[in-house]
A = this chain, B = another copy of it.
Amino acid sequence: MYMHKLTQTVITGHDKAVVQTKAGKVRGAIVEGNYIFRGIKYADAERFHMPHDVEPWEGVKEALVYGYNPPELNTVLAHDEPYVPHYFWPENEHCQYVNIWTKSIDPSAKKPVMVWMHGGGWMGGSSVEIYSYDGENLAEYGDVVVVSLNHRLNVLGYLDLSQYGEEYKNSVNVGLADLVAALKWIHENIENFGGDPGNVTIMGQSGGGSKVLSMLQTPAADGLFHKAIMQSGGARLGFDPNARKTNQEFADKIVANLGLTKETIKEIETVSWYDLSAATIKAIYQCNQEGKGRPSWGPISDGEYFFGNPAEYGWREESKNIPMIVGSNMGEFKCYAAFNLEKSKNALTEEEVDQLLTEELGDKKDAVVEAFKKAYPDHNIIDAIYTDTSMRPSLIQFCKDRAKNTDTPIYEYMFSFESDWDGGVPAWHNAEEPFMFHNARYIESAFVPGESDKLEDAVTSSWLAFAKTGDPNNALIPTWKPVDQDSNIMIFDKTIRSETNFDDELMGAYPPPKPMGFPGSTKMFSVYGADLEI
């Protein structure tokens, strides 16, 4: 379970799969005809400083092993581990690495390039955090070049020390600058891995969705990518008018916890990671005690390097030509409540269902159930209480806003396929990833005999068509219309269907969302370092 691997013939050797990069040669492995390169350093950086090119080297560097993960403030078991299998890896702040999967290392091959930006809310995660991120099958099935990357997170990537001197002017955005550096490395090197630097699609989920969006708002990234896919997150990137002040006050606490001052601030670049993370955790604790805000981690608009959320700062003219796919999953964080039941949600009696619906929805129950049946006619009505009402409305708004402000198509989707896992669970946060990476047959919680194969072909083919041409339409799905003044949407489920404004009534019927008190939340968020027990 989880760890089973296909028998594959892997060819490695000192003179096998050798590719010239700008800085030197690397060698990967050849796996059943596919080339895999892991852990190529795309940039170097001193702590709290902007990334720069790596030093050139002589000879051939091995690229057989993933590079270090970005350090997390605290790593615990994620509560979603059984159905979102994780992959952990040693951490080091010098974490600027890319991984590449490709069927060719011929510079004239010019295949579309798809770049994955991982989730974890700018706080945690990595390019390998989740099993379904493995790019081998997407590269194989789609004949594209897949790249995934690590970059700086949390305090290492997004701490505003600008009040301590000009040299820290960008410290709050250096993790974002790593993303740009990775795209620059891809631009300059991907041709030798069979890729087309003129056709790069960036894609990401959750925090990775907001990373994708941030690239559209970062001038330094202009021209380094051409299409964007934003999955289950991103629409609310950086919506905090006090972000800079909050971050600077938080930085002051960390500096004080380390016993440093404006005069000795330089030492913050060399204290051990143990000490820096302990000082950060203590600052989080202090904020909690004082009831004060603390950074949500992530870049902050300075109107120069980074232009923040488009809904707040406007869409940059320079990236209005980027076609997008944007969407979310039916259950997202809401589905976790289903695990707290004593039996499968699909084994509940009619009375039990009615009782749960009443508890959750109160006097809105009838309206919600009626709207739910219209939006999701094939689903069990108990799913009405496991349907995301937090992310979805902001994504609807986001797509319409983009459509209003650009002539470039934006395509919207809903992923609502229910897995058999634990007797049936609505599509959770991350559930679509095995499908767009064409890995559903290797992730047990996604694999449903007779059903998931067909769906993953359709989802992957849509992502691929979009990466190739900017239009996701393909033979395996009905016509997918871009969003206009209406929410035209593709619904990926047992039956794939195209709809317009399919859940407007449903979203309107729900009572105002309660604060998200999902079970296991402490564990879930502490995996990303946001919430730490002291």
A contact set with B: CB distance below 8 Å? 1-10, 12-15, 29, 31, 36, 62, 64-65, 68, 75-77, 81-82, 87-92, 131, 134, 136, 272, 274, 277-278, 341-344, 421-423, 441-445, 447, 449
Contact = CB atoms under 8 A, between A and B. Distances in A.
A532 to B, nearest CB: 11
B422 A7 contact: no
Given A2-B5, A421-B12, A75 B90 contact: yes
B77 A13 contact: no
10 contacts: A1-B8, A3-B131, A4-B5, A4-B442, A5-B444, A7-B441, A10-B447, A12-B82, A76-B90, A272-B278
B77 A68 contact: yes
A455 B344 CA distance: 44
B8 A444 contact: yes
A344 B3 contact: no
A343 to B, nearest CB: 5
Contacts of A423: 12-14
Contacts of A65: 77, 81-82
A31 B422 contact: no
Contacts of A447: 7-10
B14 A343 contact: yes
A77 B68 CA distance: 8
Nearest to A12: B422
A82 B62 contact: yes
Contacts of A442: 3-7
Contact of A6 (B5, B29, B90): B5
A30 to B, nearest CB: 10
A62 B77 CA distance: 14
Contacts of A3: 5, 87, 131, 134, 136, 442
A1 B36 contact: yes
A516 to B, nearest CB: 22
Contacts of A87: 3, 88
Given A5-B4, A88-B90, A15 B343 contact: yes
A494 to B, nearest CB: 18
A81 B12 CA distance: 14
Contacts of A82: 12, 62, 64-65
Contacts of A77: 65, 68, 90
A319 to B, nearest CB: 34
Given A5-B443, A9-B449, A14-B341, 19 more contacts: A1-B8, A1-B36, A1-B136, A3-B5, A3-B131, A3-B442, A4-B5, A4-B6, A5-B444, A7-B441, A7-B442, A7-B447, A8-B447, A12-B423, A64-B82, A65-B81, A75-B91, A76-B90, A77-B90
